[in-house]
Amino acid sequence: MMRKLSLLFAGALMGASAMSLVYGAPSSTANAAGSETYKQLAIFGDIFERVRAQYVTPPDDKSLVENAINGMLTSLDPHSSYMNAEEAQDMRVQTKGEFGGLGIEVTMENDLVKVITPIDDTPAAKAGVLAGDYIAKIDGDEVRGLTLNDAVEKMRGPVNTPIKLTILRQGADKPIELTVVRDIIKVKAVKFRVENDIGYMKITSFTEKTYDDLENAIDTIKKQVPNDKLKGYVLDLRLNPGGLLDQAVSVSDAFLDRGEIVSTRGRDPKDVTRFDARPGDDIGGKPLIVLVNGGSASASEIVAGALQDLRRATVVGTQSFGKGSVQTIIPLGENGALRLTTALYYTPSGKSIQGKGITPDIKVDQPLPPELQGRDLTRGESDLKGHIKGADEGATGSGSAAYVPPEPKDDLQLIYAEQLLRGEKTDPAFPPNPDKAVLNQ
């Protein structure tokens, strides 16, 4: 059974997004509204007043307005939305990649908060919280009856403030009382390890810290494996929902020596922004394989598309999500923020992946475990109601199964990538030839 997870140190990150941040007013102004538009707004005002006056129970004015705004925005596409002040703050926390908290990954089970794992060297780990613990009370208040998000919100808070947890632990004859002092939790956007002679790096999200975390991963791998022994790297972008556009560009640039990484094109045909790679390949030209699946979206697709088109990496896995739009976050002061789709992005070959996705150079399917068989785990932009139809979107649409086994020994896509790097398998797509890069003319 699939469980809904929440990261107490990260939260649910932004959805599938490539985002840019704008401070102040948008650079262009809208056309003046015509008389028909004002007539429609008058109708809205009339309906709003009738609902307030005659609905069977007194409605909340703030909720009515927020829902009306979101109704307008979601009618445009699935990724435009209004965030109230609290939601906008959560978004800023998530993109920053650090905040005051405990440092535990949790889920909801049997109406209690279950600890999946405490993160090393965080307040929760130091206080003695263990994987498998159930949190029954938070500061004396029962967890039963709370949603997972409510419970997570109660555990977050200002740095250096204490929180009391009542824990139920298997084998303990009575509840355990722990006091944990909140601290700054820095979310690791990049997880990495050495697989004998291969460097493995998994980017979980594109926050403000992603590029720095990637550089640290590369440096550490280089120190652990001599250059003459290192066969290459695997960059795992599976289940990565996206994040900040500038971080996607920086991550791509880490592996590229030249070429256009991505371009964005807005409403005005003249509104084209191009991002180019700078000289210098941080892994010294070592072979690189990128893993993608139906959970690879937006910012992660920018990276995969750039490395694929420029023939710097071989992409292995299944069709990616297919979200080729960019959302601009426009702050509205104390009223929150507007997330608005303002551009589409294009890979170096000039192709839009909107509603299509990244097609891997080598398709490797990952079988589902018995408990998930029969379920539709396919994820794709083309399945979203009201999505912007892509220029290259076909009848087959985008996306594929979004599943990665928890154990590397069961991960056929990762195993295949490692076999390619070690020469145990061969394929015409590996290694790619940079001289045959596919560029937009």
Joined together, the tokens standing for residue 329 give 């976050």
Greatest alpha-carbon span in the chain: 77
Note if the bond before 431 is cis, omega within 30 degrees.
yes
Measured from the Cβ of residue 324, the count of other Cβ atoms closer than 10 Å reads: 33
Contact present, 413 and 336 (Cβ < 8 Å):
no
Joined together, the tokens standing for residue 345 give 């992005």
Measured from the Cβ of residue 279, the count of other Cβ atoms closer than 10 Å reads: 8
229 is catalytic: no
298 is catalytic: yes
For residues 305 and 291, what is the distance between their CA atoms, to the nearest angstrom? 12
Which of these is catalytic: 309, 356, 382, 398? Answer: 309
Length of the chain: 441
**Tokens 């809205």 — which residue?**
44
Q: How far is CA 163 from CA 115, 144, 160, 296, in A?
A: 16, 18, 10, 36
250 is catalytic: no
The DSSP secondary-structure symbol of 391 reads: T
Nearest alpha carbon to residue 99 among 196, 207, 16, 253: 207
For residues 184 and 99, what is the distance between their CA atoms, to the nearest angstrom? 5
Which of these is catalytic: 80, 205, 296, 298? Answer: 298
Which of these is catalytic: 114, 188, 286, 323? Answer: 323
| Torsion angle in degrees (nearest 10) through CA of 224, 225, 226, 232 | -140
Nearest alpha carbon to residue 97 among 252, 204, 220: 204
Contact present, 165 and 129 (Cβ < 8 Å):
yes
Residue numbers annotated as active site: 298, 309, 323
